[in-house]
C-alpha cells in the first residue's frame, strides 16, 4: 500500500474527524462544482456551530442549504447568499452570522491561506462597509485595505478526474473556487467522478497537485442546475 | 423620450472596440451582447472563471458544469479559456478587462458607486461587484436617471453604502450619457426628445452642461 | 481581421517599443523555458539601462547573458546569478546592480503585479539581509515582512503551444516563471513553438489565458541544456 | 570515525516516512534519494515546478524542457504534477512539504541558519533556500560539524548573514545527530566511534548531553 494512496472507502471515512465548532472551506459557485456528497455527510454527522467559507450557501434542500435545516452553520463567509428561504429566515433571526466578502477577495483569501501568505492588500472594498476597521494603506497613490488569509480545519472539494495520488482535474466552470479551497484545508477531502491510475493524467494538466489532498473518494452526483437556460 | 432597456444596451455597445475583453453585469448590461456591431469581435469574461462566453446551450449541449456568473447554463466559444476564481479575479483586479458594464442604485459626482446594499432590506451580498469596480480601468454604469418617485440617482454624494470609491467615470442613464471628471457630471449626450432642462432637473449632483449636447440616434432594427 | 489576433509578423515587431530605461520581466528558470529569441531581439535593438526581473541571468553568450555583452542591463532582480563570467565581472565592477530576491518571493511578486495585489506578507527572508528596511508584522505569532508587487513595461515569455487569441500552454518544467511573467507586463510578448487555431486547445487546459497576451510569435528554439545529466 | 557523505545521506533517510513529500537540496541532501528504504514511497518536490521527480533520463528521453531545481535534466515519475514557480512556492511557503533537507554553513542554538552568503566572497544568491527554510515545518540540515580548520559550525549565534531565523530544529553533521530546542542543541546520536568528548569540543553553541548517547549503526551495502 503506497503512502500516496489517498482513497478512502466511504463517505463516512472521508469526513471522519469533523467536529462542532470547526471551520469548513467549500469549493463551488452557486450549485456548480459543489462537493454535494461531502456536504450531505456533514449533515448526516450533525456537527454544529460550523464556520463555513464558501461563495454561496446552496438552495433549500440542496448543497450547503442542507446544513441550514438542522442549524449546523453558525457563521458563513460568502459573497452572495440568501437565495434560499431558510437562509433568509435564519439571517433575519440572527441565528447565523454572515460575513459578506467580495468574491475576488474571498478567492484570494483562500489562496493566501494555502500559500503561506498571511495577508495582502487590495483596492477592493476600500471606502465601503467591507473596509470598515481594516488597515488602509496607499500604494501607487491609491488606497488599499489589508485582508487576511483563511485556513480551514477541513476543505471540501469537488473534482472531475483524479489519480489515486490525489492529483485532480476539474471540469469546465465547475473549477471555480475548488483549487483554492483544496490548498487551504488542514484536512482536504476531494470527491470526484472518476479515479484513474497514477500516470494516466498529463502532469502539466493537473489543476490541484496531490500534495494538497488528504482524502479522495469517487461518488455519484446529482449536479442540480440552478438556472436552466437554453437556446431554442 | 427615455431610452428603453434595449436602447440603453445599444448605446453602451457603441463603447465597444474590436478585441475588447468585456465583463457584463446582470440586467441591462447583459443585453449589450445583443448589439455587438457586425465585424467586431468582443470576448465576454464571466467572473466565475470563463473567458469567451458563448450563447446559451441547446438541450443537447446543456451541461451543469458550464455556467456563467449569473448561474445560467452557457457554452464556451471556440478559443475560450476556463480557470479558477482566483485567476478570474486576478484578471479583474489586475486591470486586464477592457470594459466592465454594470448597474447601480446611485452614482455620485466623485465617481462613487452604490449598487449592492439597501439598509433595512435583505442584503444578499456584493458578489464580484466590488472587485469589478475596483479593478476595471474602464467602467460604464447603467441605471435609470431617477427613481420611480422622481428622485435623482446622480448625486452629490451617495446615500447608500458604497460598492466602490472614486472608480466610475462613465454613466448611461435612460435620459443621458454622462462622464464624471473633477467632481462633476459632464452631460455628453441626451436621449432622443429629452431636453437638457429635464436632465438638469433630475440630476442632484453637480452637472456641467456644454453649449451643445447632441441627441443620441438609434436605427430601428429592420 | 479579428481584434483578438495577437500574431505579429516578425521579432522586430514583437519587441517594438522597447526603450532604454525600461523594466523587462522574463520567464524561464536557468536556461529552461527562456524567451531566447525575444532576448536576442532586445540585444539587436540595443536598448540600455534596462531593469531585468528574472530568476537567473543566463550564461555567457546565451539567454540574458547576451544582454551583458553590450552592458544593456543596469539592474537585475533575481534569486540566483553569476553562473557566467561576464556577470561576475560586471557585478564586481559595480556596473550592474543586483537585487537578490528569494525565488518564491520573486514568483509571488510577479503574480501580485499581474493580479492587482500591490503588496503581501511572507515569512521568507525575515531576520535575513533580505528583510532589512522592510516592514515587519506579526501574524499567528510569527514575524513576516511586507513585499511589494512587480510590474514590467514589457514581459517576455516562452510558451509551447498557443492559439492566435494568445491562449498559451507550457511544456513540462519550461512553465516555471512564465505564467506569472505573462500577467505582469504592460506589454506581454509571447514566443511559442506552435500556433494553432482558436478552438484547438482545451479551454480548461490553458495555462495563460489570452487576455494577458498582447503579441504572439512562432519561433525556432535552440533550447540549450545547462546541465546535461543522463542515466546510463 | 566521521560519517561519509553516503552515511550522512543514509542517516537522513531514516527520517523519511511512507507518503512523504520531500524537497532535497543540492549536495548531500540529493544523495538521500538513493537510500529510500524498500517498500517506502517518497515523492520528491523540485522547486522549479515538479512534484514527483524521477531518475535522470536516458539519451532518448533527454528533454531540455524537463529539468530539476539544480538545472539537471530529469524525468517525471508516473503520477507527477508540473506547475508554475508561484504554485511551487505556494506549496513550500504554505507548509505542504513534509520534509526539507538542505545544507548549511552555520546553525545556531536558536535554530537560525546561515547557508547562502559569505561576505567578501562572490554572492550568487539564495535561490529558493529562504522560502524553503521559512516554509517547511520539518527541516533537516546536513553539514560537517566543524570547518577544515576545526572551527565549530554549531554556534551560539550565527556569524554569517542568515537564510532564516529560528526555523531549524534538526541537524545531522558528520559527527552527530542533534535536535534544537529551547535555545540549545541536544545531542541525540553520535557517529560510530566518535566520542561525546569530541562532539562537545567541536560544538561552540550550548549543548545538552543526555546520559546515554547511542551510536549510529550502518549496514554495509551488499
Mean pLDDT of B137-160: 96
Model pLDDT, residue A1: 53
How far is Cα D78 from Cα C6, in angstroms, rounded to an integer?
36
The H-or-E segment that residue D147 falls in is none
* Predicted confidence band of residue B121 (pLDDT cuts 50, 70, 90): confident
**Residue D218 belongs to some domain of the structure:** no
**Residue D217 belongs to some domain of the structure:** no
Give the nearest chain D residue to C79 (CA atoms). D127
B42-54 confidence digits (pLDDT tens): 999 999 999 999 9
Mean pLDDT of B120-137: 91
Cα-based distances in Å from A137 to A122, A131, A164, B90 = 9, 11, 45, 20
C20-42 confidence digits (pLDDT tens): 999 999 999 999 999 999 999 99
> What count of other Cβ atoms lies within 10 Å of the Cβ of residue B42?
21
Q: Which residues of D are catalytic?
A: 47
Reference A192, options A146, A147, A223; nearest CA is A223
pLDDT at A190 over 90: yes
CATH number at residue D67: 3.40.1080.10
**Residue D36 belongs to some domain of the structure:** yes
Contact (Cβ atoms closer than 8 angstroms) between residue A200 and residue A206: no
pLDDT at B221 over 60: no
Contact (Cβ atoms closer than 8 angstroms) between residue B173 and residue B204: no
Domain enclosing residue B121, as ranges = 5-208
Most A CBs within 10 Å, among D42, D52, D81, to test the A interface: D81
A146-156 confidence digits (pLDDT tens): 999 999 999 99
Model pLDDT, residue A82: 79
DSSP B30-89: HHGGGGPPTT--EEEEETTTEEEE--PPPTTT--TT-B-TTSBB--EEEEEEE--HHHHH
Q: What is the CA radius of gyration of chain B?
A: 18
Model pLDDT, residue C1: 53
Mean pLDDT of C213-231: 96
**Residue B142 belongs to some domain of the structure:** yes
C206-221 confidence digits (pLDDT tens): 999 999 999 999 999 9
Size of interface A-B (CB pairs under 8 A): 172
* Predicted confidence band of residue A232 (pLDDT cuts 50, 70, 90): confident
**Residue D61 belongs to some domain of the structure:** yes
Mean pLDDT of C93-122: 97
Model pLDDT, residue C16: 98
pLDDT at B222 over 70: no
Residues of A in Cβ contact (< 8 Å) with C112 = 120
Question: Percentage of chain A with pLDDT > 90?
Answer: 94
A16 Cβ under 8 Å from any chain B Cβ = no
Contact (Cβ atoms closer than 8 angstroms) between residue B198 and residue B174: no
Mean pLDDT of C46-75: 96
What is the dihedral angle through the alpha carbons of C3, C9, C12, C14, rounded to the nearest 10 degrees?
40
Q: Out of B15, B47, B87, B156, pick the active-site residue.
A: B47
> Which residue in the set A111, A115, A198 is minimally distant from D79, CB to CB?
A198
The H-or-E segment that residue A20 falls in is none
Half-sphere exposure of D188 (CA within 13 A, CB side): 13
B175-184 confidence digits (pLDDT tens): 999 999 999 9
B6-17 confidence digits (pLDDT tens): 999 999 999 999
Model pLDDT, residue C26: 98
SS3 string, B187-214, reads EEEECCCCCHHHHHHCCCCCEECCCCCC
Under an 8 A CB cutoff, do D94 and A114 touch?
Answer: yes
Mean pLDDT of A185-192: 98
**Residue B49 belongs to some domain of the structure:** yes
Tell me what ipTM this predicted complex has. 0.97
Under an 8 A CB cutoff, do A4 and D19 touch?
Answer: yes
Under an 8 A CB cutoff, do D51 and A4 touch?
Answer: no
**Residue D213 belongs to some domain of the structure:** no
**Residue D215 belongs to some domain of the structure:** no
pLDDT at B209 over 50: yes
Mean pLDDT of C145-152: 98
How far is Cα D164 from Cα D116, in angstroms, rounded to an integer?
10
If one counts the domains in chain B, the total is: 1
The mean predicted confidence, pLDDT, of chain A is: 96
A208-219 confidence digits (pLDDT tens): 999 999 999 999
Contact (Cβ atoms closer than 8 angstroms) between residue D69 and residue D85: no
Model pLDDT, residue B171: 98
CA distance C105 to chain A (A): 10
Model pLDDT, residue C232: 75
* Predicted confidence band of residue B174 (pLDDT cuts 50, 70, 90): very high
> Which residue in the set B84, B122, B162 is minimally distant from A175, CB to CB?
B84
Model pLDDT, residue D222: 47
Per-residue pLDDT of chain D (222 residues; tens, 9 = 90+): 899 999 999 999 999 999 999 999 988 999 999 999 999 999 999 999 999 999 999 999 999 999 999 999 999 999 999 999 999 999 999 999 999 999 999 999 999 999 999 998 888 999 999 999 998 779 999 999 999 999 999 999 999 999 999 999 999 999 999 999 999 999 999 999 999 999 999 999 999 999 999 999 997 654
Mean pLDDT of C130-152: 97
> Which residue in the set B20, B81, B94 is minimally distant from C210, CB to CB?
B81
Under an 8 A CB cutoff, do C175 and A116 touch?
Answer: no
Amino acid at each position: 500500500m503506497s503512502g500516496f494512496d489517498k482513497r478512502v472507502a466511504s463517505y463516512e471515512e472521508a469526513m471522519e474527524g469533523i467536529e462542532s465548532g470547526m471551520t469548513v472551506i467549500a469549493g463551488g459557485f452557486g450549485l456548480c462544482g459543489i462537493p454535494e456528497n461531502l456536504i450531505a455527510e456533514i449533515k448526516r454527522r450533525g456537527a454544529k456551530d460550523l464556520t463555513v467559507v464558501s461563495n454561496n450557501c446552496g438552495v433549500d434542500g440542496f448543497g450547503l442549504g442542507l446544513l441550514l435545516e438542522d442549524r449546523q452553520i453558525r457563521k458563513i463567509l460568502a459573497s452572495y447568499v440568501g437565495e434560499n428561504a431558510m437562509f433568509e429566515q435564519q439571517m433575519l433571526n440572527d441565528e447565523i452570522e454572515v460575513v459578506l466578502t467580495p468574491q475576488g477577495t474571498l478567492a484570494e483569501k483562500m489562496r493566501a491561506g494555502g500559500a503561506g501568505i498571511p495577508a495582502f492588500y487590495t483596492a477592493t472594498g476600500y471606502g465601503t462597509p467591507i473596509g470598515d476597521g481594516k488597515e488602509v494603506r496607499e500604494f501607487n497613490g491609491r488606497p488599499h485595505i489589508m485582508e487576511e488569509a483563511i485556513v480551514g480545519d477541513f476543505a471540501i472539494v469537488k473534482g472531475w478526474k483524479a489519480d489515486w495520488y490525489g492529483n485532480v482535474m476539474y471540469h469546465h466552470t465547475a473549477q471555480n473556487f475548488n483549487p483554492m479551497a483544496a490548498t487551504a484545508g488542514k484536512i482536504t477531502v476531494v470527491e470526484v467522478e472518476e479515479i484513474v491510475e497514477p500516470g494516466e493524467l498529463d502532469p502539466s494538466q493537473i489543476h490541484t497537485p496531490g500534495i494538497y489532498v488528504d482524502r479522495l473518494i469517487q461518488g455519484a452526483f446529482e449536479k442540480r442546475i440552478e438556472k436552466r437556460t437554453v437556446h431554442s | 423620450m427615455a431610452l428603453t432597456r434595449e436602447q440603453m444596451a445599444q448605446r453602451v455597445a457603441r463603447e465597444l472596440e474590436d478585441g475588447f475583453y468585456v465583463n457584463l453585469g446582470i440586467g441591462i448590461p447583459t443585453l449589450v451582447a445583443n448589439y455587438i456591431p457586425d465585424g467586431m469581435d468582443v470576448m465576454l469574461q464571466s467572473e466565475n472563471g470563463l473567458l469567451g462566453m458563448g450563447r446559451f446551450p441547446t438541450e443537447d449541449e446543456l451541461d451543469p458544469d458550464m455556467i456563467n456568473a449569473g448561474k445560467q447554463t452557457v457554452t464556451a466559444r471556440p478559443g475560450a479559456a476556463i480557470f479558477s476564481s482566483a485567476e478570474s479575479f486576478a484578471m479583474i483586479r489586475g486591470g486586464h478587462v477592457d470594459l466592465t458594464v454594470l448597474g447601480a442604485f446611485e452614482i455620485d459626482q466623485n465617481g462613487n458607486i452604490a449598487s449592492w446594499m439597501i439598509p433595512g432590506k435583505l442584503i444578499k451580498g456584493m458578489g464580484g461587484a466590488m472587485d469589478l469596480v475596483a479593478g476595471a480601468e474602464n467602467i460604464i454604469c447603467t441605471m435609470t436617471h431617477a427613481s420611480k418617485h422622481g428622485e435623482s440617482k446622480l448625486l452629490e454624494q451617495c446615500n447608500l453604502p458604497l460598492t466602490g470609491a472614486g472608480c466610475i467615470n462613465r454613466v448611461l442613464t435612460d435620459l443621458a450619457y454622462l462622464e464624471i471628471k473633477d467632481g462633476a457630471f459632464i452631460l455628453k449626450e441626451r436621449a432622443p426628445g429629452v431636453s437638457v432642462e429635464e436632465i438638469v432637473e433630475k440630476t442632484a449632483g453637480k452637472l456641467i452642461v456644454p453649449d451643445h449636447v447632441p441627441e443620441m440616434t438609434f436605427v430601428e432594427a429592420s
